[in-house]
Structure 1
């Protein structure tokens, strides 16, 4: 072989080796589909990665160039009898929290109604048409409790299993798996076939399992995606950032811009896989190290190690029912350099909170207008100042300031200590609470800001996924020094007692008549404790309220009866004094005084009912206890008193402008019968008790009122069904009250007054003044 051929082969081999090492050190970006990244094998006994080993070929590279594969680990259990209130999935990508599922069976999710039964969130990966590969199995899930029907095979699905069939339907990829699962229902037993890899050189075996599906638990945190227009004009699915990422705002003289932008030239703490160093049932540790070769811009022998520790203590029998909804989170910064190294970190908040109720529910803002579905909250530890930053305000800021979309949560230069920052949904909240007692006092937060963390939802802006960041002050870490910042991550329901236990009471807000809402809720919960049904409790509460106001409403009803009886006389006076407004007013006042009629007496009832109505409206729309509370247990209709009754889904055949979830005069995707009954009773009351019109003007006014009543029915079409029950009960009470009230008898007519008798005193008085 000629020398040039040998040289060419050696050159080609060198290029190939270089390219191979480059690929191993810089793996390709993950696929855009959710949970489809390549993941290492899991330890089947521990249900977590055995040692988070570096990727294939890592032994050929230097220690500081090791690239770890993406792994998942779990904390707690979804089993409510396990002592844990949640199942937490931790993701090595960015050292983040991947998912939080609450174990309480009453906290079921409406967002998965069309997804079939719940098998478990298994972090699937596709396998070139050969099924879907499982990478994590949460304790207490139906997948973990699967019963093996194959002799010699252990019960429970395991990490590494490849699902190839669900109830006789072949599974080739994630899409076919989801379609197969959509055909199932909670409570159904299905048959799942998996290819289980053999140990060592043993071949894979097929194992068949019987699995009892359940209802989907609520996910306070979950991976989320958005669909945007790609560069080619075609729809493109993008993943939202995961929850509770951590990055560096400053290292030495190097600093980063705001938001998710990291320090240029340093390894990414957000996109890289952190090393999993410890895993147990209740604790997971991850770490990321910046080696001297990464920090060479700052000089020789610079080394910084970040450690994140997540733990989930088990709830004991002695603890209260309000406890156990927090994840203990500890962030450590280790300066392993030989010199001092100034460091500031940036901690991000949760993403992917539930969108439950987004098309009918409206959170009330402390300012004017309504809040969104994923709003950002912040409270000061020093002053107790609480602020709700609505989705609308955060989106507006992002659209105005495209380069820096982050809205400050506290004033620039403020010395206030952040008590917590959070993301608030309709019925659930996730907040990051700072533990100052367990943290190093050297670190203080210098900045707090909120922003849309994902593309703005153009179809319905309040659904935009928003979050926050907290940035610490830069602190000079001495050589070998370690600082610690402790947090608690609250991820739970917006129950009053739970929120107050965690110091989050300000998150729950009932509007201007909060005191009335609180009082009515105390009575309502007391009635529920006796009756066992919130529908009956609302009816009894309404009767109690109307009964207490009976003396006032009875007086109002009599007043309206007298008004109806005097209507002809009022009409006669108006005709007689057509050209004399002062004379007409004097004659009407004499008539009203003679028959003890107060024309504004009917307003008293309205002013008394207004705070009760608004207070009860906010109570029924906000109170967590009414979520998923059925009117009639066992019937799907009106199974959630905090939502519309949803008698019939008509989104498939009604015109789009009527059935669309949101928009002006849109009624939503469901036919709700209770608002129609409510409006019908309003119209009956108007027809029965409104005095007959005395002229064309009054007739037009009454027609306008009828149209306004119908329009109000459209506006109220998506109100909580519990509020409709209040309206219906109150209207029936009002009709019966008026029907049973004796009609006024023998109302005499006033003697016709002459214009001169009314005007003369005024003329004489005028002369006297002159």
Structure 2
């Protein structure tokens, strides 16, 4: 049934394409001369088929046929290609394949502690420390703008990893400096909501300091303000909350700064709280299943910065394994919370310790060890300071080591429309692994090569970056991280010296590649891991290392201060993009206070500097219109002589002082500026979240399409899908305006067609303009503003320049055309008997006829003779 539905859907799409081309084809009126061959009468010669007259038509036929073939191929590939993998449940996949790592789903509480398979044997053992039965959440930082923190970090004791990082830095007006640009609804705060198995509602597990739910006003006397862990949310206003998915859906119905009432069950009481919603902060790190519209089937939920043993006793972790096989998993184990975060306003620290199973270690002939993971966050900082290590709790020295995983679940904002620039020919994904070593320099491993490597292997990491057998310079690591378009999360050393304590690094996929849709591979979840050098640790001593994790925007000064400048990459046009970026910043800061207006001013400055070239282009356009009749005569005269026709055309153009390529000069000069501005919009963090106007909800991000209206819920998936559609899930008005202005310019300034072939060419140009409008439907709105301003300037410039030009029929052009006519009348069909100098001297000896006034001039008859 699924194959039949897929066939019917694609057949419908293909039918629309065929109907479109069936409508379009007759509009071009192809006319091919009738060529017959009479076997009975061979004395009557068949008129020759003149290829030169129809080469333009054949080119047009090839363009249309190729485009139709491309569309039909895509549709047929959907019909007969392999079926899409079945959608996985929202809580994550039931299993994992290939290189997929173990999924961690904090939304579903485990039925029992998934730790030690030999727990029954260890019961009653005096040296086996007791373990916590339930996970807990801790926070570092605050959402409060007065706290001084730039981020809010959510930690989970199950695995002692980072579950979520929100950027909370504010602008001068109190608004979030970095918010979710794809979320228009309000935000109440992250609460790690979980569904309940036996009743409706979503249970709260954590309340972030300074979040709207932490400041919620109680509507009952005698009840403290703010929600608490353990509360069960049952309704928002009049909307019921049966699970956390319905809670997220209810939030989309309310805008920021709206006050909503939450109904909460606390024990046997039913309470109500008034919550003032805010903008949604940028969740720089999040679980894949909490991505909203950006949730990608196949990406797995996994905490970031997980720690595990890589060496103990005689056992050492292989690069193909995630954890030591003989030990219970440390990733899903509940760690002991040693230190709770301090008060808001000072450096906050959260410490975790995990005593590894003593029974399992004894079976491995190893002594007792504890894993230690400590996080510290300073105010006014984008750094999460980490201390990771292994403590030897036995009575003898041991060979110990650890594996530290990197961040994953980095923000996916705009992955379906953005154009991330890559130094590699293979292109970049939405999240790529970057690193720098002393021998290799800055290296980017894109998502697509990682997926290819993962599919080619049966086990192990997607890509090994360096190994113990490599040279020392190859293991001198300056940084390693996951890079998005405007943000980076990377490990950097604590000091100026590079890392030297790691012997192995590898890039990995936190995804099930077998379930990852082909058209969404760009959004695959990527990460990495580091294996420490194995060292001998004395009894009671600890193998401890410090690592700093930068999690912030790709702002030039900020990245340079942390040694991450190479992560900002402009590509081949950096020499143009960087000065344009600085000029835009100056205009915005000192002149207009708005990047959209700054782009308009930049465009006007460029066009004003190009005004002499624009005037020359207008002059040549008028000359082209006046030369059109003469060129037509030359074409008719030299129908069978291509060389003679080209020579006559060159002579006419030389006499008129006309260069056919000079009109293209303004376009070639604007092309680098256009590409440089495109690179600015794709790289510069300051242009992200810059609005056309603060009062407008649409066009609120110049680095993205304007998103006037959402049509993804009713438009065909073929056109509106994220990653699959040609147009995207939003209707954008600015590309339509750009396309309309281009067509208007063609209609206003294109010279009238002198024959059927010219008319055909003009129709092709109009068709290609419409087609380009579809291709550029998802370009950044800032680029559309540049095109609109440039087009309006061009129209005004041509109108103004036209008034300053000499009337038609006067000057050198009239002399050239009349000289050509006189030469033709004197020389007949053999008009090439005199040299160019002789013909000019003959014309100079005779006075030119007086020019007719414009009212008495006759336009060429364009009607076809019947």
TM-score computed with the length of structure 2 as normaliser: 0.74
Q: CA deviation at 1:588?
A: 2.5
Match of 2:356 in 1: 290
Q: CA deviation at 1:32?
A: 8.0
Following the alignment from structure 1 to structure 2, what is the Cα–Cα distance between the partners of residues 35 and 698? 66
| 2:137 is the counterpart of 1:72 | yes
Match of 1:391 in 2: 447
Following the alignment from structure 1 to structure 2, what is the Cα–Cα distance between the partners of residues 513 and 464? 28
| 2:188 is the counterpart of 1:118 | yes
Please give the residue correspondences for 1:417-496 in structure 2 after superposition, counting only pairs within 5 Å: 417-435=476-494, 444-456=501-513, 457-458=516-517, 459-496=519-556
Following the alignment from structure 1 to structure 2, what is the Cα–Cα distance between the partners of residues 760 and 473? 89
Equivalent position SS for 1:500 = helix
| 2:109 is the counterpart of 1:37 | yes
Match of 1:88 in 2: 153
Match of 1:620 in 2: 681
Q: Is the 8 A contact 2:485 2:682 kept in 1?
A: no
Q: Is the 8 A contact 2:309 2:324 kept in 1?
A: yes
RMSD (CA atoms)? 3.1
Match of 1:608 in 2: 669
Q: Is the 8 A contact 1:517 1:615 kept in 2?
A: yes
Following the alignment from structure 2 to structure 1, what is the Cα–Cα distance between the partners of residues 598 and 573? 21
Please give the residue correspondences for 1:293-372 in structure 2 after superposition, counting only pairs within 5 Å: 293-299=359-365, 302-315=367-380, 324-372=381-429
Match of 2:852 in 1: none
Compared CA separation, residues 259 and 108, structure 1 to 2 (3 A): farther
Q: Which of the residues 724, 734, 752 maps onto 1:692?
A: 752
Match of 1:143 in 2: 213
Q: Is the 8 A contact 1:241 1:454 kept in 2?
A: no
Greater RCO (Cα-Cα under 8 Å, separation 6 or more)? 2
Q: Which of the residues 383, 390, 401 maps onto 2:457?
A: 401
Following the alignment from structure 1 to structure 2, what is the Cα–Cα distance between the partners of residues 548 and 395? 48
Following the alignment from structure 2 to structure 1, what is the Cα–Cα distance between the partners of residues 242 and 635? 83
| 2:219 is the counterpart of 1:155 | no
Match of 1:47 in 2: none
Q: Is the 8 A contact 1:678 1:727 kept in 2?
A: yes
Equivalent position SS for 2:128 = helix
Match of 2:695 in 1: 634
Q: Which of the residues 232, 240, 259 maps onto 2:301?
A: 240
Q: CA deviation at 1:727?
A: 0.2
Following the alignment from structure 1 to structure 2, what is the Cα–Cα distance between the partners of residues 270 and 260? 13
Match of 2:288 in 1: 224
The range that moved more, 640-649 or 695-704, is: 695-704
Equivalent position SS for 2:360 = coil
| 2:179 is the counterpart of 1:108 | yes
Following the alignment from structure 2 to structure 1, what is the Cα–Cα distance between the partners of residues 692 and 358? 65
The range that moved more, 458-467 or 538-547, is: 458-467
1:705-740 Cα distance to aligned partner (Å, 9 max, x none): 222111111000011111101001001111111121
The range that moved more, 458-467 or 652-661, is: 652-661
Q: CA deviation at 1:610?
A: 1.3
Compared CA separation, residues 590 and 182, structure 1 to 2 (3 A): closer
Q: Which of the residues 738, 741, 751 maps onto 2:798?
A: 738
Equivalent position SS for 1:376 = strand
Match of 1:587 in 2: 648
Q: How many residues align?
A: 692
Match of 1:541 in 2: 602
Equivalent position SS for 1:333 = strand
Compared CA separation, residues 587 and 132, structure 1 to 2 (3 A): closer
| 2:766 is the counterpart of 1:706 | yes
The range that moved more, 244-253 or 538-547, is: 244-253
Structure 1, unaligned runs of 5 or more: 1-29, 41-54, 198-203, 228-234, 316-323, 763-770
Following the alignment from structure 2 to structure 1, what is the Cα–Cα distance between the partners of residues 601 and 714? 38
Q: Is the 8 A contact 1:362 1:370 kept in 2?
A: no
Compared CA separation, residues 172 and 79, structure 1 to 2 (3 A): same
TM-score computed with the length of structure 1 as normaliser: 0.83
Match of 2:278 in 1: 214
Q: CA deviation at 1:211?
A: 1.8
1:401-444 Cα distance to aligned partner (Å, 9 max, x none): 132341133587143312111112232221121335699x8x53
Following the alignment from structure 2 to structure 1, what is the Cα–Cα distance between the partners of residues 239 and 727? 38
Please give the residue correspondences for 1:12-31 in structure 2 after superposition, counting only pairs within 5 Å: none
| 2:701 is the counterpart of 1:646 | no
The range that moved more, 235-244 or 708-717, is: 235-244
Q: CA deviation at 1:498?
A: 2.3
Compared CA separation, residues 598 and 179, structure 1 to 2 (3 A): closer
The range that moved more, 509-518 or 187-196, is: 187-196
Following the alignment from structure 2 to structure 1, what is the Cα–Cα distance between the partners of residues 392 and 535? 11
| 2:324 is the counterpart of 1:269 | no
Q: Is the 8 A contact 1:31 1:37 kept in 2?
A: no
Structure with the higher fraction of residues in helix conformation: 2
Following the alignment from structure 2 to structure 1, what is the Cα–Cα distance between the partners of residues 125 and 226? 38
Equivalent position SS for 1:625 = coil
Q: Which of the residues 630, 634, 656 maps onto 1:573?
A: 634
Following the alignment from structure 2 to structure 1, what is the Cα–Cα distance between the partners of residues 368 and 495? 27
| 2:611 is the counterpart of 1:554 | no
1:602-624 Cα distance to aligned partner (Å, 9 max, x none): 23222211111100112123322
Q: Is the 8 A contact 1:438 1:486 kept in 2?
A: no
Q: CA deviation at 1:690?
A: 2.6
Following the alignment from structure 1 to structure 2, what is the Cα–Cα distance between the partners of residues 690 and 237? 52
Q: Is the 8 A contact 1:120 1:142 kept in 2?
A: no
1:161-195 Cα distance to aligned partner (Å, 9 max, x none): 33344335554543454454444432222223434
Compared CA separation, residues 629 and 39, structure 1 to 2 (3 A): farther
Following the alignment from structure 2 to structure 1, what is the Cα–Cα distance between the partners of residues 239 and 624? 73
Following the alignment from structure 1 to structure 2, what is the Cα–Cα distance between the partners of residues 730 and 65? 72
Q: CA deviation at 1:384?
A: 7.2
Following the alignment from structure 1 to structure 2, what is the Cα–Cα distance between the partners of residues 368 and 566? 46
Compared CA separation, residues 215 and 679, structure 1 to 2 (3 A): same
Q: Is the 8 A contact 1:226 1:454 kept in 2?
A: no
Compared CA separation, residues 437 and 39, structure 1 to 2 (3 A): farther
The range that moved more, 455-464 or 272-281, is: 455-464
Following the alignment from structure 1 to structure 2, what is the Cα–Cα distance between the partners of residues 413 and 77? 43
Q: CA deviation at 1:127?
A: 6.5
